[in-house]
A and B are shown apart, each in its own frame.
Chain A
Amino acid sequence: MLELFGTEVNLAPIWLTLEVATMTTLILLVVGTPLAWWMAQMRSSNKVLLEALVALPLVLPPTVLGFYLLIVFNPTGPVTEFLRWFGFEGQLTFSKTGLVIGSVFYSLPFAVQPLMHAFEAIPHRLLDAAATLRASFLDRFRTIVLPLSRRGILIAATLTFAHTVGEFGVVLMVGGNIPGETRMVSIDIFDHVESMEYTQAHLLSGMMLVFSLAVLMLVYGMNRRFGVKVG
Protein backbone atom coordinates (compact mmCIF):
# COMPACT_ATOMS: atom_id res chain seq x y z
CA MET A 1 0.00 0.00 0.00
CA LEU A 2 1.20 3.46 -0.86
CA GLU A 3 -0.43 6.68 0.13
CA LEU A 4 -0.74 9.18 -2.70
CA PHE A 5 -2.71 12.43 -2.46
CA GLY A 6 -4.44 11.00 0.60
CA THR A 7 -5.60 7.88 -1.26
CA GLU A 8 -4.35 4.36 -0.66
CA VAL A 9 -2.91 2.74 -3.75
CA ASN A 10 -2.28 -0.98 -3.82
CA LEU A 11 1.08 -1.55 -5.47
CA ALA A 12 0.80 -5.31 -6.05
CA PRO A 13 -0.94 -4.97 -9.45
CA ILE A 14 1.78 -2.55 -10.58
CA TRP A 15 4.64 -4.93 -9.69
CA LEU A 16 2.80 -7.83 -11.28
CA THR A 17 2.25 -5.83 -14.46
CA LEU A 18 5.94 -4.89 -14.66
CA GLU A 19 6.91 -8.53 -14.06
CA VAL A 20 4.62 -9.92 -16.77
CA ALA A 21 5.71 -7.20 -19.22
CA THR A 22 9.41 -7.88 -18.56
CA MET A 23 9.04 -11.64 -19.02
CA THR A 24 7.01 -11.14 -22.20
CA THR A 25 9.60 -8.75 -23.63
CA LEU A 26 12.51 -11.10 -22.90
CA ILE A 27 10.73 -14.10 -24.39
CA LEU A 28 9.67 -12.18 -27.48
CA LEU A 29 13.20 -10.88 -28.10
CA VAL A 30 14.54 -14.44 -27.92
CA VAL A 31 11.77 -16.04 -29.97
CA GLY A 32 11.06 -13.05 -32.20
CA THR A 33 14.62 -12.51 -33.42
CA PRO A 34 15.06 -15.82 -35.30
CA LEU A 35 11.48 -15.61 -36.55
CA ALA A 36 12.00 -12.06 -37.83
CA TRP A 37 15.34 -13.00 -39.40
CA TRP A 38 13.79 -15.97 -41.16
CA MET A 39 10.93 -13.80 -42.41
CA ALA A 40 13.32 -11.07 -43.57
CA GLN A 41 15.22 -13.61 -45.70
CA MET A 42 12.08 -15.16 -47.16
CA ARG A 43 11.36 -14.55 -50.80
CA SER A 44 8.54 -17.01 -51.40
CA SER A 45 4.86 -16.18 -51.31
CA ASN A 46 4.62 -17.92 -47.93
CA LYS A 47 5.99 -14.73 -46.47
CA VAL A 48 2.68 -12.99 -47.06
CA LEU A 49 0.85 -15.62 -45.05
CA LEU A 50 3.40 -15.48 -42.27
CA GLU A 51 3.30 -11.69 -42.11
CA ALA A 52 -0.47 -11.79 -41.95
CA LEU A 53 -0.41 -14.40 -39.17
CA VAL A 54 2.03 -12.34 -37.12
CA ALA A 55 -0.11 -9.22 -37.57
CA LEU A 56 -3.36 -10.96 -36.55
CA PRO A 57 -3.32 -9.79 -32.92
CA LEU A 58 -3.32 -6.20 -34.21
CA VAL A 59 -6.71 -6.57 -35.82
CA LEU A 60 -8.41 -9.29 -33.77
CA PRO A 61 -10.43 -7.91 -30.88
CA PRO A 62 -8.83 -9.01 -27.59
CA THR A 63 -12.13 -10.68 -26.76
CA VAL A 64 -11.66 -13.07 -29.71
CA LEU A 65 -8.11 -13.85 -28.71
CA GLY A 66 -9.13 -14.21 -25.07
CA PHE A 67 -12.02 -16.50 -25.93
CA TYR A 68 -9.81 -18.78 -28.03
CA LEU A 69 -7.17 -18.76 -25.31
CA LEU A 70 -9.81 -19.83 -22.76
CA ILE A 71 -10.57 -22.78 -24.99
CA VAL A 72 -7.03 -23.84 -25.93
CA PHE A 73 -5.63 -23.12 -22.45
CA ASN A 74 -8.20 -25.20 -20.60
CA PRO A 75 -6.74 -28.00 -18.45
CA THR A 76 -7.52 -30.67 -21.05
CA GLY A 77 -6.77 -28.41 -24.03
CA PRO A 78 -3.99 -28.92 -26.61
CA VAL A 79 -1.53 -26.33 -25.27
CA THR A 80 -1.64 -27.64 -21.71
CA GLU A 81 -1.28 -31.24 -22.97
CA PHE A 82 1.72 -30.21 -25.04
CA LEU A 83 3.40 -28.50 -22.10
CA ARG A 84 2.85 -31.58 -19.93
CA TRP A 85 5.38 -33.45 -22.08
CA PHE A 86 7.93 -31.03 -20.70
CA GLY A 87 6.87 -31.64 -17.13
CA PHE A 88 4.47 -28.72 -16.80
CA GLU A 89 2.00 -29.45 -14.01
CA GLY A 90 -0.07 -26.36 -13.47
CA GLN A 91 -2.94 -24.79 -15.34
CA LEU A 92 -2.52 -21.99 -17.85
CA THR A 93 -5.70 -20.11 -17.20
CA PHE A 94 -5.73 -18.18 -13.93
CA SER A 95 -1.94 -18.22 -13.67
CA LYS A 96 0.96 -15.86 -14.29
CA THR A 97 2.48 -18.35 -16.74
CA GLY A 98 -0.73 -18.26 -18.76
CA LEU A 99 -0.74 -14.47 -18.76
CA VAL A 100 2.84 -14.39 -20.07
CA ILE A 101 2.07 -16.92 -22.83
CA GLY A 102 -1.09 -15.03 -23.76
CA SER A 103 0.86 -11.77 -23.83
CA VAL A 104 3.54 -13.31 -26.05
CA PHE A 105 0.86 -14.04 -28.66
CA TYR A 106 -0.83 -10.71 -28.15
CA SER A 107 2.36 -8.62 -28.45
CA LEU A 108 3.98 -10.73 -31.20
CA PRO A 109 3.60 -8.14 -34.00
CA PHE A 110 5.06 -5.39 -31.81
CA ALA A 111 8.30 -7.36 -31.52
CA VAL A 112 8.51 -9.09 -34.88
CA GLN A 113 7.62 -6.22 -37.20
CA PRO A 114 10.30 -3.72 -36.10
CA LEU A 115 12.89 -6.52 -35.99
CA MET A 116 12.00 -7.74 -39.46
CA HIS A 117 12.16 -4.25 -40.95
CA ALA A 118 15.54 -3.67 -39.31
CA PHE A 119 16.89 -6.96 -40.69
CA GLU A 120 15.55 -6.24 -44.16
CA ALA A 121 17.39 -2.92 -44.21
CA ILE A 122 20.83 -4.51 -43.74
CA PRO A 123 22.78 -4.39 -47.02
CA HIS A 124 23.46 -7.90 -48.28
CA ARG A 125 26.90 -7.04 -49.62
CA LEU A 126 28.14 -6.47 -46.05
CA LEU A 127 27.13 -9.97 -45.05
CA ASP A 128 28.55 -11.43 -48.27
CA ALA A 129 31.85 -9.63 -47.72
CA ALA A 130 32.05 -10.96 -44.16
CA ALA A 131 31.24 -14.44 -45.42
CA THR A 132 34.13 -14.32 -47.92
CA LEU A 133 36.35 -13.47 -44.96
CA ARG A 134 35.14 -16.74 -43.43
CA ALA A 135 33.12 -15.19 -40.64
CA SER A 136 30.66 -17.78 -39.36
CA PHE A 137 26.93 -17.08 -39.39
CA LEU A 138 26.88 -16.34 -35.66
CA ASP A 139 29.91 -14.09 -36.08
CA ARG A 140 28.20 -12.15 -38.86
CA PHE A 141 25.01 -11.94 -36.84
CA ARG A 142 26.79 -10.62 -33.77
CA THR A 143 29.16 -8.16 -35.45
CA ILE A 144 27.02 -6.89 -38.34
CA VAL A 145 23.34 -7.65 -37.92
CA LEU A 146 22.88 -6.83 -34.24
CA PRO A 147 24.75 -3.48 -34.23
CA LEU A 148 23.00 -2.34 -37.39
CA SER A 149 19.58 -3.35 -36.05
CA ARG A 150 19.89 -1.89 -32.58
CA ARG A 151 17.24 0.72 -33.32
CA GLY A 152 14.79 -2.00 -34.39
CA ILE A 153 15.65 -4.10 -31.34
CA LEU A 154 15.17 -1.18 -28.96
CA ILE A 155 11.87 -0.26 -30.56
CA ALA A 156 10.69 -3.87 -30.50
CA ALA A 157 11.55 -4.18 -26.81
CA THR A 158 9.95 -0.88 -25.80
CA LEU A 159 6.77 -1.39 -27.79
CA THR A 160 6.36 -4.98 -26.55
CA PHE A 161 6.85 -3.88 -22.97
CA ALA A 162 4.47 -0.94 -23.24
CA HIS A 163 1.84 -2.93 -25.11
CA THR A 164 1.88 -5.67 -22.48
CA VAL A 165 1.54 -3.11 -19.70
CA GLY A 166 -1.54 -1.74 -21.44
CA GLU A 167 -3.08 -5.12 -22.11
CA PHE A 168 -6.64 -5.60 -20.91
CA GLY A 169 -8.89 -7.92 -22.87
CA VAL A 170 -6.71 -11.01 -22.87
CA VAL A 171 -5.81 -10.63 -19.19
CA LEU A 172 -9.43 -10.10 -18.30
CA MET A 173 -10.56 -13.15 -20.23
CA VAL A 174 -8.00 -15.71 -19.03
CA GLY A 175 -6.66 -14.22 -15.80
CA GLY A 176 -9.45 -14.71 -13.29
CA ASN A 177 -8.49 -11.53 -11.42
CA ILE A 178 -6.50 -13.23 -8.66
CA PRO A 179 -4.66 -10.74 -6.40
CA GLY A 180 -0.89 -11.06 -6.77
CA GLU A 181 -1.20 -13.66 -9.52
CA THR A 182 -3.25 -12.23 -12.39
CA ARG A 183 -4.70 -8.90 -11.23
CA MET A 184 -2.82 -6.48 -13.47
CA VAL A 185 -3.12 -2.69 -13.37
CA SER A 186 -5.66 -2.45 -16.20
CA ILE A 187 -7.97 -4.91 -14.41
CA ASP A 188 -7.47 -3.08 -11.13
CA ILE A 189 -8.55 0.18 -12.78
CA PHE A 190 -11.58 -1.53 -14.30
CA ASP A 191 -12.61 -2.81 -10.85
CA HIS A 192 -12.19 0.60 -9.27
CA VAL A 193 -14.43 2.14 -11.93
CA GLU A 194 -16.94 -0.69 -11.51
CA SER A 195 -17.18 -0.20 -7.78
CA MET A 196 -17.34 3.59 -8.10
CA GLU A 197 -13.94 4.18 -6.47
CA TYR A 198 -13.18 6.94 -8.93
CA THR A 199 -10.30 8.48 -6.94
CA GLN A 200 -8.18 5.32 -7.12
CA ALA A 201 -9.20 4.86 -10.73
CA HIS A 202 -8.04 8.41 -11.50
CA LEU A 203 -4.69 7.92 -9.78
CA LEU A 204 -3.86 4.65 -11.53
CA SER A 205 -5.17 5.90 -14.87
CA GLY A 206 -3.06 9.03 -14.51
CA MET A 207 0.02 6.91 -13.86
CA MET A 208 -0.73 4.80 -16.94
CA LEU A 209 -1.17 7.90 -19.07
CA VAL A 210 2.14 9.43 -18.01
CA PHE A 211 3.94 6.10 -18.41
CA SER A 212 2.53 5.48 -21.91
CA LEU A 213 3.35 8.99 -23.05
CA ALA A 214 6.91 8.67 -21.75
CA VAL A 215 7.41 5.32 -23.50
CA LEU A 216 6.06 6.59 -26.81
CA MET A 217 8.27 9.68 -26.62
CA LEU A 218 11.22 7.38 -25.97
CA VAL A 219 10.36 5.32 -29.06
CA TYR A 220 9.97 8.35 -31.31
CA GLY A 221 13.15 9.84 -29.83
CA MET A 222 15.07 6.67 -30.72
CA ASN A 223 13.56 6.70 -34.16
CA ARG A 224 14.96 10.15 -34.77
CA ARG A 225 18.37 9.65 -33.22
CA PHE A 226 19.26 6.29 -34.75
CA GLY A 227 17.23 6.92 -37.87
CA VAL A 228 19.88 9.13 -39.45
CA LYS A 229 22.80 6.85 -38.57
CA VAL A 230 21.33 3.61 -39.80
CA GLY A 231 19.41 4.75 -42.85
Chain B
Amino acid sequence: MKNLIGWGSLVVSILFSTVVYAESATIAVASNFTKTIEVIGQAFEKETGHQIRFSFGPTGKLYAQIKNGAPFDAFFGADERRPKKTIEDGLGVKQSYFVYAQGQIVLYSAKYPVDSQPIEVLRSADFKHLSIANPKTAPYGERAVAFLKKKGLYEHVKSRIVNGESIAHAFQYVATHNAPIGFVAMSQVVDPKSPVYQKGAYWVVPASDYAPINQGALVLKRGENNVAVQAFMNFMKTQKAITIMNRYGYKVD
Protein backbone atom coordinates (compact mmCIF):
# COMPACT_ATOMS: atom_id res chain seq x y z
CA MET B 1 0.00 0.00 0.00
CA LYS B 2 2.75 2.35 1.01
CA ASN B 3 4.49 1.45 -2.24
CA LEU B 4 1.38 2.30 -4.19
CA ILE B 5 1.18 5.76 -2.64
CA GLY B 6 4.84 6.28 -3.41
CA TRP B 7 4.34 5.37 -7.08
CA GLY B 8 1.19 7.40 -7.20
CA SER B 9 2.85 10.54 -5.95
CA LEU B 10 5.68 10.03 -8.42
CA VAL B 11 3.19 9.81 -11.29
CA VAL B 12 1.37 12.91 -10.03
CA SER B 13 4.60 14.87 -9.75
CA ILE B 14 5.61 13.90 -13.29
CA LEU B 15 2.21 14.94 -14.59
CA PHE B 16 2.48 18.19 -12.72
CA SER B 17 5.92 18.99 -14.04
CA THR B 18 4.59 18.99 -17.59
CA VAL B 19 1.55 21.03 -16.53
CA VAL B 20 3.83 23.68 -15.09
CA TYR B 21 5.55 24.18 -18.42
CA ALA B 22 2.43 24.06 -20.55
CA GLU B 23 0.40 27.22 -20.24
CA SER B 24 -2.82 28.32 -21.81
CA ALA B 25 -3.86 31.54 -23.47
CA THR B 26 -6.90 33.14 -25.08
CA ILE B 27 -6.43 34.97 -28.35
CA ALA B 28 -8.90 37.21 -30.17
CA VAL B 29 -8.89 36.59 -33.94
CA ALA B 30 -10.56 38.37 -36.88
CA SER B 31 -13.25 36.25 -38.57
CA ASN B 32 -11.47 35.94 -41.92
CA PHE B 33 -8.54 34.14 -40.28
CA THR B 34 -10.70 31.60 -38.39
CA LYS B 35 -9.96 28.44 -40.33
CA THR B 36 -6.28 29.21 -40.85
CA ILE B 37 -5.44 29.93 -37.23
CA GLU B 38 -7.32 26.84 -36.08
CA VAL B 39 -5.05 24.71 -38.23
CA ILE B 40 -1.95 26.59 -37.06
CA GLY B 41 -3.18 26.27 -33.46
CA GLN B 42 -3.42 22.50 -33.74
CA ALA B 43 0.13 22.26 -35.10
CA PHE B 44 1.30 24.57 -32.31
CA GLU B 45 -0.38 22.61 -29.52
CA LYS B 46 1.02 19.38 -30.85
CA GLU B 47 4.52 20.81 -30.93
CA THR B 48 4.62 22.72 -27.67
CA GLY B 49 1.91 21.30 -25.41
CA HIS B 50 0.64 24.81 -24.73
CA GLN B 51 -3.05 25.38 -25.07
CA ILE B 52 -4.58 28.23 -27.04
CA ARG B 53 -8.25 29.16 -27.07
CA PHE B 54 -9.41 31.36 -29.93
CA SER B 55 -12.23 33.85 -29.82
CA PHE B 56 -13.44 34.82 -33.29
CA GLY B 57 -15.34 37.93 -34.35
CA PRO B 58 -15.33 41.02 -36.51
CA THR B 59 -12.21 43.08 -35.75
CA GLY B 60 -14.20 46.12 -34.61
CA LYS B 61 -16.22 44.06 -32.16
CA LEU B 62 -13.10 42.39 -30.77
CA TYR B 63 -11.50 45.80 -30.37
CA ALA B 64 -14.54 47.08 -28.45
CA GLN B 65 -14.39 44.02 -26.22
CA ILE B 66 -10.68 44.46 -25.54
CA LYS B 67 -11.22 48.12 -24.73
CA ASN B 68 -13.85 47.05 -22.21
CA GLY B 69 -11.67 44.56 -20.40
CA ALA B 70 -12.16 41.31 -22.33
CA PRO B 71 -9.77 38.60 -21.09
CA PHE B 72 -7.66 38.25 -24.25
CA ASP B 73 -3.89 37.74 -24.21
CA ALA B 74 -3.27 38.63 -27.85
CA PHE B 75 -5.15 40.17 -30.76
CA PHE B 76 -5.05 39.19 -34.46
CA GLY B 77 -6.92 41.82 -36.46
CA ALA B 78 -8.10 42.04 -40.05
CA ASP B 79 -6.26 45.33 -40.48
CA GLU B 80 -3.48 47.35 -38.88
CA ARG B 81 -5.66 50.14 -37.52
CA ARG B 82 -7.49 48.39 -34.69
CA PRO B 83 -4.52 46.42 -33.29
CA LYS B 84 -2.45 49.63 -33.35
CA LYS B 85 -5.26 51.44 -31.59
CA THR B 86 -4.88 49.13 -28.60
CA ILE B 87 -1.31 50.44 -28.25
CA GLU B 88 -2.63 54.02 -28.08
CA ASP B 89 -5.15 52.87 -25.49
CA GLY B 90 -2.36 51.46 -23.38
CA LEU B 91 -3.70 47.92 -23.76
CA GLY B 92 -1.32 46.54 -26.38
CA VAL B 93 2.39 45.81 -26.13
CA LYS B 94 4.04 47.99 -28.76
CA GLN B 95 7.22 45.93 -29.34
CA SER B 96 5.19 42.79 -30.03
CA TYR B 97 3.32 44.27 -33.02
CA PHE B 98 3.86 42.65 -36.42
CA VAL B 99 2.04 42.11 -39.72
CA TYR B 100 1.30 38.39 -39.67
CA ALA B 101 -0.28 38.05 -43.12
CA GLN B 102 -1.65 39.82 -46.15
CA GLY B 103 -5.19 38.93 -47.09
CA GLN B 104 -6.21 38.49 -50.72
CA ILE B 105 -9.57 39.31 -52.22
CA VAL B 106 -11.24 37.08 -54.79
CA LEU B 107 -14.31 37.58 -56.91
CA TYR B 108 -16.39 34.42 -56.56
CA SER B 109 -19.45 33.21 -58.42
CA ALA B 110 -21.21 29.88 -58.82
CA LYS B 111 -23.03 31.21 -61.86
CA TYR B 112 -20.81 33.52 -63.93
CA PRO B 113 -17.43 32.85 -65.58
CA VAL B 114 -15.54 35.26 -63.32
CA ASP B 115 -12.29 33.34 -63.73
CA SER B 116 -12.03 34.13 -67.44
CA GLN B 117 -13.95 37.42 -67.77
CA PRO B 118 -14.20 39.08 -64.36
CA ILE B 119 -14.55 42.66 -65.58
CA GLU B 120 -17.06 41.79 -68.31
CA VAL B 121 -19.18 39.91 -65.78
CA LEU B 122 -19.14 42.87 -63.39
CA ARG B 123 -19.97 45.25 -66.22
CA SER B 124 -22.68 43.40 -68.06
CA ALA B 125 -23.99 40.33 -66.23
CA ASP B 126 -27.59 40.47 -65.03
CA PHE B 127 -26.94 39.64 -61.35
CA LYS B 128 -29.36 41.19 -58.86
CA HIS B 129 -27.01 41.27 -55.90
CA LEU B 130 -23.28 41.59 -55.39
CA SER B 131 -22.16 40.58 -51.91
CA ILE B 132 -19.26 42.35 -50.19
CA ALA B 133 -18.23 42.83 -46.57
CA ASN B 134 -19.45 46.13 -45.13
CA PRO B 135 -16.81 48.61 -46.39
CA LYS B 136 -17.35 50.79 -43.36
CA THR B 137 -16.25 48.15 -40.91
CA ALA B 138 -14.39 45.43 -42.81
CA PRO B 139 -11.09 45.99 -44.67
CA TYR B 140 -11.93 43.28 -47.22
CA GLY B 141 -15.09 45.17 -48.12
CA GLU B 142 -13.33 48.50 -48.20
CA ARG B 143 -10.71 47.14 -50.65
CA ALA B 144 -13.42 45.57 -52.81
CA VAL B 145 -15.09 48.97 -53.13
CA ALA B 146 -11.73 50.63 -53.86
CA PHE B 147 -11.13 48.07 -56.61
CA LEU B 148 -14.57 48.69 -58.15
CA LYS B 149 -13.96 52.44 -58.06
CA LYS B 150 -10.57 52.07 -59.67
CA LYS B 151 -12.10 50.11 -62.53
CA GLY B 152 -14.93 52.62 -62.89
CA LEU B 153 -17.51 49.95 -62.01
CA TYR B 154 -18.67 51.16 -58.62
CA GLU B 155 -21.50 53.46 -59.76
CA HIS B 156 -22.63 50.73 -62.11
CA VAL B 157 -23.07 48.04 -59.41
CA LYS B 158 -23.65 50.28 -56.37
CA SER B 159 -27.42 49.79 -56.13
CA ARG B 160 -26.97 46.01 -56.23
CA ILE B 161 -24.45 45.74 -53.42
CA VAL B 162 -25.47 43.86 -50.28
CA ASN B 163 -23.29 44.19 -47.20
CA GLY B 164 -22.28 41.30 -45.00
CA GLU B 165 -21.30 42.33 -41.49
CA SER B 166 -17.97 40.57 -41.84
CA ILE B 167 -16.21 38.79 -44.64
CA ALA B 168 -17.59 35.54 -43.19
CA HIS B 169 -21.09 36.91 -43.50
CA ALA B 170 -20.52 38.22 -47.06
CA PHE B 171 -19.39 34.70 -47.90
CA GLN B 172 -22.57 33.16 -46.46
CA TYR B 173 -24.64 35.23 -48.87
CA VAL B 174 -22.89 33.71 -51.88
CA ALA B 175 -22.56 30.22 -50.41
CA THR B 176 -26.34 30.06 -49.84
CA HIS B 177 -27.00 31.46 -53.37
CA ASN B 178 -28.79 34.53 -52.10
CA ALA B 179 -26.24 36.62 -53.95
CA PRO B 180 -24.99 35.02 -57.19
CA ILE B 181 -21.64 36.82 -57.04
CA GLY B 182 -19.45 38.42 -54.40
CA PHE B 183 -16.06 39.62 -53.22
CA VAL B 184 -14.77 37.27 -50.52
CA ALA B 185 -11.48 36.29 -48.95
CA MET B 186 -9.31 33.84 -50.84
CA SER B 187 -9.07 31.70 -47.70
CA GLN B 188 -12.80 31.05 -47.96
CA VAL B 189 -12.70 29.47 -51.42
CA VAL B 190 -9.42 27.54 -51.28
CA ASP B 191 -10.20 25.77 -48.00
CA PRO B 192 -11.01 22.13 -48.89
CA LYS B 193 -13.71 22.17 -46.19
CA SER B 194 -15.39 25.24 -47.67
CA PRO B 195 -18.95 24.68 -48.95
CA VAL B 196 -17.96 26.23 -52.29
CA TYR B 197 -14.65 24.36 -52.63
CA GLN B 198 -14.16 23.51 -56.32
CA LYS B 199 -17.67 24.71 -57.10
CA GLY B 200 -18.16 27.71 -59.29
CA ALA B 201 -15.34 29.99 -60.32
CA TYR B 202 -13.14 32.55 -58.65
CA TRP B 203 -10.72 35.22 -59.74
CA VAL B 204 -7.91 36.53 -57.57
CA VAL B 205 -8.03 40.32 -57.73
CA PRO B 206 -4.48 41.41 -58.71
CA ALA B 207 -2.52 42.83 -55.78
CA SER B 208 -1.69 45.88 -57.92
CA ASP B 209 -5.38 46.85 -57.97
CA TYR B 210 -5.85 47.53 -54.27
CA ALA B 211 -3.83 48.52 -51.22
CA PRO B 212 -2.50 45.45 -49.44
CA ILE B 213 -4.64 44.13 -46.60
CA ASN B 214 -1.98 44.04 -43.92
CA GLN B 215 -3.31 42.10 -40.99
CA GLY B 216 -1.64 43.12 -37.74
CA ALA B 217 -1.25 41.21 -34.50
CA LEU B 218 0.14 41.96 -31.08
CA VAL B 219 0.37 40.77 -27.50
CA LEU B 220 -1.99 42.51 -25.11
CA LYS B 221 -0.84 43.78 -21.69
CA ARG B 222 -2.78 40.98 -20.04
CA GLY B 223 -0.73 38.32 -21.85
CA GLU B 224 2.63 40.06 -21.54
CA ASN B 225 4.11 37.46 -19.20
CA ASN B 226 2.26 34.48 -20.63
CA VAL B 227 4.73 31.88 -21.93
CA ALA B 228 2.16 30.31 -24.25
CA VAL B 229 1.41 33.64 -25.94
CA GLN B 230 5.07 34.37 -26.46
CA ALA B 231 5.61 30.90 -27.91
CA PHE B 232 2.61 31.25 -30.19
CA MET B 233 3.71 34.63 -31.56
CA ASN B 234 7.10 33.09 -32.36
CA PHE B 235 5.44 30.06 -33.91
CA MET B 236 3.48 32.35 -36.25
CA LYS B 237 6.79 33.41 -37.79
CA THR B 238 8.04 29.86 -38.44
CA GLN B 239 8.04 28.23 -41.87
CA LYS B 240 5.45 25.74 -40.64
CA ALA B 241 2.91 28.47 -39.89
CA ILE B 242 3.77 30.39 -43.06
CA THR B 243 3.20 27.28 -45.19
CA ILE B 244 -0.26 26.88 -43.65
CA MET B 245 -1.07 30.55 -44.24
CA ASN B 246 0.01 30.31 -47.88
CA ARG B 247 -2.10 27.24 -48.34
CA TYR B 248 -5.14 29.21 -47.15
CA GLY B 249 -4.49 32.06 -49.56
CA TYR B 250 -2.59 34.49 -47.36
CA LYS B 251 0.64 36.11 -48.42
CA VAL B 252 3.44 36.47 -45.90
CA ASP B 253 6.40 38.79 -46.47
Contact with A along B164-206 (1 / 0, CB 8 A): 1100010011001111000000000000000000000000000
Which B residues from 72 to 99 make CB contacts under 8 A with A?
A: 85
A75: chain B residues at CB < 8 Å are 128, 177-178
Cα distance A70–B136 when bound, in Å? 23
Q: Which of the listed residues B129, B131, B165, B178 has the most CB atoms from chain A within 10 Å of its own CB?
A: B178
Closest to B159 in A: A178
A177: chain B residues at CB < 8 Å are 134, 162-165
Contact with A along B50-91 (1 / 0, CB 8 A): 000000001011011000000000000000000001000000
> Is B9's CB within 8 Å of the partner chain A?
no
Cα distance A193–B162 when bound, in Å? 20
Given A91-B129, A176-B163, A178-B162, A194 and B137 touching (CB < 8 A)? yes
CB distance from A93 to the nearest CB of B (A): 4
Closest to A98 in B: B178
> Is A122's CB within 8 Å of the partner chain B?
no
Given A70-B172, A91-B129, A191 and B134 touching (CB < 8 A)? yes
B163: chain A residues at CB < 8 Å are 176-178
CB distance from B66 to the nearest CB of A (A): 12
Contact of B137 among A71, A74, A173, A195 (CB under 8 A): A195
A176: chain B residues at CB < 8 Å are 129, 131, 162-164, 173, 179
| Size of interface on B: residues with Cβ below 8 Å to A | 24
- Does B60 contact A94, Cβ atoms closer than 8 Å? no
CB distance from A192 to the nearest CB of B (A): 9
Name the prevailing secondary structure of the B interface residues: mixed
Given A70-B172, A195-B60, A196-B60, A172 and B165 touching (CB < 8 A)? yes
CB distance from A24 to the nearest CB of B (A): 21
Which A residues from 170 to 205 make CB contacts under 8 A with B?
A: 172-174, 176-178, 190-191, 193-196
Given A94-B129, A176-B129, A177-B162, A196 and B63 touching (CB < 8 A)? yes
Which B residues from 13 to 35 make CB contacts under 8 A with A?
A: none
- Does B165 contact A190, Cβ atoms closer than 8 Å? yes
B178: chain A residues at CB < 8 Å are 70, 73-75, 91, 93-94, 174
Closest to A90 in B: B128
Cα distance A70–B131 when bound, in Å? 14
Closest to A197 in B: B136
Nearest 3 interchain pairs by C-beta: A176-B162, A194-B60, A194-B137
Supply 24 A–B pairs (Cβ within 8 Å), ascending by A: A70-B173, A70-B178, A74-B177, A74-B178, A75-B177, A75-B178, A76-B177, A93-B178, A94-B179, A173-B172, A176-B129, A176-B163, A176-B173, A177-B134, A177-B162, A177-B163, A191-B136, A191-B137, A193-B64, A194-B60, A194-B134, A194-B165, A195-B136, A196-B63
List the interface of chain B (C-beta within 8 A of A): 58, 60-61, 63-64, 85, 128-129, 131, 134, 136-137, 161-165, 169, 172-173, 176-179
List the interface of chain A (C-beta within 8 A of B): 70-71, 73-76, 91, 93-94, 172-174, 176-178, 190-191, 193-196
With A176-B179, A195-B136, A196-B85 given, can you name 5 additional A-B contacts, CB distance below 8 Å? A74-B177, A173-B172, A177-B163, A194-B61, A195-B137
